[in-house]
Amino acid sequence: MVRRIRLFGEDILRQRAKPVKAIDASVRRLIDDLVETMEDAEGLGLAATQIGVAKRVFVARDGDQILAFVNPTIVARHGREVGLEGCLSLPGLQGNVPRAKEITIRALDRAGRTISHTFTGLAARCCQHEYDHLNGVMYVDHTKDLFWLEAAAERVDLPEDDETSDHWVDEGGQSIQIVRVPTDIREITDYYAELIADLDLDAAGEHLLAEDDGTAPATDEVTEDISG
């Protein structure tokens, strides 16, 4: 099932997730939901806290396969490099973030077996990013080099090797230019606070409409039970 991805500023993203006590059907269903939600959002990884569940579980893509990690621990880190990151909980934003070049991570898989993987490159960066989420940490905590991705109002002539712009092709086949607009944590905080407020208003309106037609649920649960 595709779940709603929480946005920067929602409390659960700053919670330290709790260890999973036993891998049962509910945990395997959580893993399935993480995979489905990640693929629907075209992401590279997703942590349970990002869909409102404070359990130590995340999924990440490694090439053509998607791996699940339950109660993960990074047991080794080697090297250092700065690379570009985004986050499904911070849509429209990117930043240059320092990370270890190589990591070894130990966890349980969906069958409860102990696994150990060593990653480099993008997979290593993705796993560190998702592991941070389980500790209530986000990539904006590691860098001030942050910027919005915005469509240019008009073409901007930049040198071919300038990394402040990229080109995408929209659904109509028209080439558009995406520019990187520097920002700071205060502007970021204000922007997502407005998005969250709009979500709350939309949810309240839907609930009132449901009450009018008699389909409102008995309870309006916001986040999942985090026990276990």
Cα(6)–Cα(69) distance, rounded to whole angstroms? 20
Phi and psi torsions of 36, nearest 5°: -65, -40
Cα(10)–Cα(193) distance, rounded to whole angstroms? 9
DSSP secondary structure code for residue 21 in this structure: S
Phi and psi torsions of 140, nearest 5°: -70, -15
- Beta strands 57-62 and 175-183: pairing type? unpaired
Contact 19, 48 (CB under 8 A): no
Active-site residues, by number, are 130
DSSP secondary structure code for residue 7 in this structure: P
